[in-house]
Amino acid sequence: MFRKLLTVLFLTASLPSFADRTYVEMGFEAEVFDDLSFAVSPEWRNDPKKEEQQFHTDLSFGYEIFKNWEVTGTYRKGKVFYESDDSSEVERFAFSTSYTWKIDDFRIQTRLRYTEGTDDDGDEKEYLRYRLKIDYEIDALDLRPFLAYEKYDSLEADESRNPNVYSGGISWKINKQNQLRMEYRWVDKIHSRKDYGVYKLTYQFDF
């Protein structure tokens, strides 16, 4: 327990120093019926370079069609607040399907997601997003480090809007209902020089 706590404290203190933006999310998930879940996830985002902060909430339904194969629908609503005291609305719809392979202590997940609405840069865009994620469970420590790659494909024929996102982090299963996840993302804009790093801290509670 002490070693896990030290690991979490070290990552929490060190990772934000390498990031241009900071995200903090709280997720609350419950099973409504067999194979059907509902989640509420408020999130705060801070971008010091743009001098803006964003607050939004995601409402999601997930349904496991077959074992390890899930479809999810998400609606996001929120606001962006600027240094000038102005603000703007944030709204986004997302639909995704994912499949997970479990091989011993490894999990490999592929996900296809469609999003329509406000993207991470505040623009109204439509994307297809392809993600590959691999994680490994360390049973003795209740830790699960992970790596992920996600490719954005704009449906508006604008290659400058097609970033690659590289992620790495670690999840800590505190107990049956509580989980803490720390993640660092590098967003490669490819056709521009607006690359940036993101540190995200997520607390998850399962009812």
Specify the CATH number for 2-206; select among 3.40.50.300, 2.40.128.140, 3.40.50.11540, 3.60.150.10.
Answer: 2.40.128.140
The rounded distance, in Å, linking the Cα atoms of 115 and 23 is 19
Q: How confident is the model at residue 113, as a pLDDT?
A: 97
Calculate mean pLDDT across residues 3-12.
Answer: 57
115 pLDDT higher than 90: yes
For 134, phi then psi, to 5°, come to -130, 130
What are the domain boundaries of the chain? 2-206
Q: How confident is the model at residue 193, as a pLDDT?
A: 67
CB 135 within 8 A of CB 144: yes
Calculate mean pLDDT across residues 189-206.
Answer: 86
* 152-188: pLDDT as tens digits: 988 876 665 688 999 999 999 999 899 999 999 999 8
Calculate mean pLDDT across residues 112-118.
Answer: 91
Q: How confident is the model at residue 163, as a pLDDT?
A: 86
Calculate mean pLDDT across residues 40-62.
Answer: 94
How many CB atoms within 10 Å of residue 125? 19
191 pLDDT higher than 70: no
* 134-158: pLDDT as tens digits: 999 998 888 999 999 999 988 876 6
